Amino acid sequence: MEWIQPEKKYDLEVQRQDKGADPHRARCHLSVMDIENLHSGQEFNELPDTYIIFIIE
């Protein structure tokens, strides 16, 4: 897909039930992405742009 750029990170989550469909869940996923993409000694401004796409059915 040409709209996906390598310096950006995307996470697509599909929530099929009301239970667990909370904004804090998306926040948790973003935190995990930050941890995975920031290494020891790096500056915070070196984190890539990250996008959480949260689909609730």
Domain assignments of the chain as residue spans, ordered by start: 8-56
Q: Does residue 49 have a pLDDT over 60? A: yes
* Tens-place pLDDT, residues 17-36: 777 677 788 888 889 999 99
What are the phi and psi torsion angles at 15 (to 5°)? -110, 115
pTM for the model stands at: 0.66
Indicate the average pLDDT of the chain: 82
Q: What is the pLDDT of residue 56?
A: 79
Q: Does residue 53 have a pLDDT over 60? A: yes
What type of residue is 41?
A: G
Going from the C-alpha of 28 to that of each of 8, 24, 41, 47, the distances in angstroms are 18, 6, 23, 16
Could you tell me which residue, 54 or 2, shows the higher pLDDT? 54
Going from the C-alpha of 29 to that of each of 2, 15, 41, the distances in angstroms are 24, 13, 22
What type of residue is 14?
A: V
